[in-house]
Amino acid sequence: MIIALEGIDGAGKNTLVQALIRELAQMDGITGVATMSFPRYHESIHAQIAAEALHGNMGDLVDSAHGMAVMFALDRAGAGKELGQWATSTSDVLLLDRYVASNAAYTSARTGNVEDRAWVADLEFEKLGLPRPDLQVLVDTAPETARERAAKRESLDASRTRDKYERDTALQDATFAAYVDMAATGWEGRWIRASESAPIIQAVKELR
């Protein structure tokens, strides 16, 4: 089973993932829980190139919403075999910190074209063959709160310098609005909006 936690930078996805690891491990019938985060900056050359672009080191690559989307998609494709193994199990749960929906939300927010969400879905789920998640969770944190968290995180940790996307207030707001719309319309599967673990645990029980 694959559960993807989605949200803008500073939403609290990692904090929620850690809480879910503890609670899922205690759930009857769950034999394994693991996590994976995208982009995989320490493992994937495509993610590393994207990171360089977001910090201004790859020419005009960052100016292309679709070019950046392809880089992030190829990063996920590199983990496709492992993702596929988790997708077929109902007793093992893989928690993802970002997945395909993040690409759809950010890309459509950058271009202002909601049809780019379908373009991303076709690219990643169809052309690259990535499995659809069993559940997508919008971590329901207001953009203002998320910005404050991201800025504080940056001030406390020099390695967490915000990139071009993270510093763009308008983009973060537009991306959150895209996520809200995607959750409301059930983009590519089941969604819930949550800021704590309880409703997610309940959804997992219903899926099983």
CATH number belonging to domain 2-36+88-207: 3.40.50.300
What pLDDT, in 10s, does the model give residues 51-89?
999 999 999 999 999 999 999 999 999 999 999 999 999
Q: How do beta strands 2-6 and 32-37 pair?
A: unpaired
* Predicted model pTM: 0.92
Residues 178, 191: Cα–Cα separation, whole Å = 13
Contact 181, 4 (CB under 8 A): no
Mention every residue, 6+ apart, whose C-beta is less than 8 A from residue 193.
137, 138, 140, 180, 183
pLDDT per position as a tens digit, 118-140: 999 999 999 999 999 999 999 99
DSSP H or E stretch at residue 61: none
Please state, in angstroms and rounded to a whole number, the distance separating the CA atoms of residues 103 and 70.
9
Reported as type and span, the H/E element at residue 149 is: helix 143-156
How far is Cα 117 from Cα 181, in angstroms, rounded to an integer?
Answer: 11
Q: Give the tens place of pLDDT for each residue, 6-18.
A: 999 889 999 999 9
